[in-house]
Amino acid sequence: MNLPSCWSCQYTYSYKQAYVCTFAKTKCPSCGEKQYQSKRSKLNFGLIFLMAFIPLFIVRTFTAISFPAYIGMMLLLFFVVSFLLPFCYRFTEEQKSYF
């Protein structure tokens, strides 16, 4: 997995710059063009979340894990996933709707 780059000038984002894209729409720090998440990027998102949370639901269903421990695991997973997300971003020039 690589950090994303600008669709216009190929400027490669730093980890911190890419991480900010999780919470806000961004412009390229180099050329100022608006960046949108590509379809592929959103698909990666979904996959990462599924891979992280399906095992959690299985654990919850088949073991006698206590509820606070379950919530703890969930928070931990969320934390780990949010650190991986910047690596799956791919930017495109147009805003495409999710559906």
| 21 binding Zn ion? (CB under 5 A) | no
Q: What angle do CA 49, 53, 98 make, to 5 degrees?
A: 30
Comparing CB distances to Zn ion, the nearer of 9 and 58 is 9
Query: What are the tokens at 19?
Result: 């991480």
Under the binding rule (CB under 5 A), the answer on residue 9 touching Zn ion is yes
Radius of gyration of the chain from its Cα atoms, rounded to whole angstroms:
16
- Binding to Zn ion in span 29-88, by CB under 5 A: 30-31
Residue 11 in contact with Zn ion, rule: CB under 5 A: yes
- Closest to 44 (Cα-Cα) out of 22, 66, 67: 22
- List contacts with Zn ion (CB under 5 A): 6, 8-9, 11, 28, 30-31
